[in-house]
Structures are given as structure tokens and as C-alpha cells.
Amino acid sequence: MASYSNRKEDVLKRLRRIEGQVRGLQRMVEEDTYCIDVLTQVSATTRALQSFALQMLDEHMDTCVRTAVADGGGGNGDIKLKEASDAIARLVRS
Amino acid sequence: MASYSNRKEDVLKRLRRIEGQVRGLQRMVEEDTYCIDVLTQVSATTRALQSFALQMLDEHMDTCVRTAVADGGGGNGDIKLKEASDAIARLVRS
Amino acid sequence: MASYSNRKEDVLKRLRRIEGQVRGLQRMVEEDTYCIDVLTQVSATTRALQSFALQMLDEHMDTCVRTAVADGGGGNGDIKLKEASDAIARLVRS
Amino acid sequence: MASYSNRKEDVLKRLRRIEGQVRGLQRMVEEDTYCIDVLTQVSATTRALQSFALQMLDEHMDTCVRTAVADGGGGNGDIKLKEASDAIARLVRS
């Protein structure tokens, strides 16, 4: 079970929409669309991926991290906080 | 004709690889992959999109912007430089 | 008390170094340094600010968020998690 | 002469404002301001640096790059376009 498991259909729908955006980019390229218009769509796709990541991170902190921390002892809270922090750094730097 | 038109197959190949990454994300979600591992893949996909955008922007400046500027008069160089500058701002801020 | 209060001198030292980078930018401009070299320094300063933010966020999650969540009841954990999530979104989008 | 040389006072004013933001961060830390409020100010400072960079890049493309390209021959246009492209990649990735 992952923190998104009970709303997997929503998550998949969102990813399919992003896949649709990437396929839209391919169509634009096939039709020799002007570079600047392709780039505008790339920026929109990047933003959609970032929003997706932020929501997944939120849910993860709200469930896995919270549970591990609330459980106290065992150092599991430490591990989960470190993992989340590394994931955040990757998002900020990408 | 767009600045990438004479190497369209390469551009499409790159976009298909990004599409594959997004489909990989869907598989991960279907298999309840741990959120942090999904997020690592989202960051990789975001970086792939950014590299794609940077290459397209390069080619655009190297062809369309350069030609418009070299042609001089008519203000077309101004228009192309303004368009490129707006596209760069969208990339930096996304 | 903030989560960084017991190592305030370190935090201030880091911010003074960033201030030094911004003053370095001013010197470069006063000396008509080539734009591209100024831009390289701006990128370095931006990265320094981001690393600073990531460290502050880490400490905050490791102390304030962790304490609020471990305390359970009262909804304070919810508030802290929401605040952290909003701060992360601002960092990712800036 | 750099592309910003004839409006140097404006450029310096903008950098002094950013320096003021970084000093404001130091004051916040000295007063044990809540981490989340410090982070909000860090995000604002990062955005100010990015806007500064985008304006400097614009002017650079509008003057140095344009001139080098318009001059044609000698490969100077190539060099300037490559430099600009590298600077853009650093901005997008920082």
C-alpha cells in the first residue's frame, strides 16, 4: 500500500492527462509547429508534472511520514523525514 | 518549417522516450510503488522535459532568431528576440 | 524559539555569505563586467539561497513538524504539515 | 562596456534591493522568526534574483547577441549564441 492507493484512479487519470500532453507535443512536432508554441506546451507539461509531484508529496507526508513520526521510537520517523527531505531537494533542483 | 524540421525523427524519438517515462509512472502507481520512488521518477521526467526544451530553444535561437536578426530591418528580429525572451522566462519559472 | 535558534550563528554566517555574493554582483556591475559572467554569479547566488532554504526546511520538519505530529490530537500536526507543504510548493515554483 | 552600462544606476538599485532582502533575512533570524516565515522571504528573494537575471539576459540578447549576429562572418555570432544558451541552461537548472 502506498499513501495514494485508495485514490489510485484519480492519480492515474492525472498521469494519463500528462501522457496526453506529451503525445500532443509529438503531434505538434509532426506538424512542424512553430518552436515557440512547442516550448509553451513543454512549460505547461512541466508545470503539470510539478503539481502532480507536490500533491503526491503532500499525501506522503500526511500519511507515511505522519504515521512513522507518531509511532515514535525505532528511528522510522527519522528515516521517513530524511527520505522526504531528499525528495524535496530533488524537486526543488529539477 | 520549424527549426527542428530537418531532424524531426530525433525530436520525436526524444518525446517518445518522455512519453515512456510517463507511462512508467502509471505502471508504478498501478503497482502501488512507494511514493518516494514515484517522486524520484517524476523528477527524472521533469529534467528530461527541461533538457528537451533547452535543446529546442537552442536550435530556435540558432536558426529563426539568427536569421531574423541577420536580415536586419523590418523589426522581425525584435519580434523573434521578444518571443525567445518570453519563452525563456516561462522555462525559468516553471 | 525557532528550530534554528540553537545554531543561529551558523545560519547567520550562511546568510552573510549570500549577502557577500549579492554585493559581489554589485561590484561586477560597477566594473561593467560582461553580462554572461554576471549571470553565472546570479545562478550561483540563487543556488546558495535554495540550499539555505532546503536546510531550514529540513530542520523545521525535523523539529516543529515532528513535535506537533508526535503530540497528536489538537490538529496542530495538521496545521504544521499544511504550512510545510505550502512552503515546499513556493520553493519548487520559485 | 556591458549591455547594461548605460543604465547601470537602475541595475545597481535593483541589486541593492536584493541585498536589503538578504539583510532582512538576517534580521528575521536574529529575532528567531518562525521558520516558515523566513522561508517565504527566501522564496521572494529567489524570485527577485531570477527576475533580475531574466532582465539582464534580455538586454544581453538584445544588444551583444544581436550585434554579433548582425555583423555576420567571423563566428562571433556563434560564440555569443552558445554563451547565451549556456547561461539560459544554468538559469533553468538553478
Q: How confident is the model at residue B80 (pLDDT cuts 50, 70, 90)?
A: very high
Other beta carbons within 10 Å of A60: 23
Amino acid C32: pLDDT: 97
Residues of A in contact with B47 (CB under 8 A): 94
Three cell numbers written together for D40 = 517565504
Look over chain C and give the mean of its residue pLDDT values, rounded to a whole number: 94
Integer angstrom CA distances of residue A75 from A80, B13, B69, D82: 9, 45, 61, 50
Q: How confident is the model at residue D75 (pLDDT cuts 50, 70, 90)?
A: confident
Cα(D3)–Cα(C22) distance, rounded to whole angstroms?
A: 19
CB B22 within 8 A of CB A20: no
The answer to whether A60 contacts chain B (CB < 8 Å) is yes
Closest-CA residue to C36 (of D74, B62, D80, D92): D80
CB C41 within 8 A of CB D56: no
User: Which positions ≥6 away from B18 have C-beta within 8 Å?
Assistant: A22, B45, B48, B49, B52
Interface confidence, given as ipTM, is 0.94
Say if residue B72's pLDDT is above 80.
Answer: no
Which of C92, C93, C94 is the best residue to mutate to test the A interface, defined by the most A CB atoms within 10 Å of its own CB? Answer: C92
- A4 vs B29: CB contact, 8 Å cut-off? yes
Residue of D nearest to B79 (CA): D62
Q: Output DSSP code: residue B38.
A: H
pLDDT in tens, C12-34: 999 999 999 999 999 999 999 99
Say if residue C42's pLDDT is above 80.
Answer: yes
Backbone angles phi, psi at D31, to 5 degrees: -95, 15
- A26 vs B38: CB contact, 8 Å cut-off? no
Cα(D5)–Cα(D61) distance, rounded to whole angstroms?
A: 14
Look over chain A and give the mean of its residue pLDDT values, rounded to a whole number: 94
pLDDT in tens, A43-82: 999 999 999 999 999 999 999 898 988 887 668 889 999 9
Cα(B42)–Cα(B56) distance, rounded to whole angstroms?
A: 21
Say if residue D24's pLDDT is above 90.
Answer: yes
Global pTM value: 0.94
Three cell numbers written together for B87 = 519563452
Q: Which is higher by pLDDT, C93 or A37?
A: A37
Amino acid C73: pLDDT: 62
Residue of B nearest to D66 (CA): B69
Nearest to C57 among A58, A62, A88 (CB): A88
Residue A88 C-beta-side C-alpha neighbours within 13 Å: 27
User: Which positions ≥6 away from B73 have C-beta within 8 Å?
Assistant: none
Residue of D nearest to C37 (CA): D87
Integer angstrom CA distances of residue D68 from C18, D13, D62: 34, 29, 10
Closest-CA residue to D32 (of C60, B44, A19, C70): C60
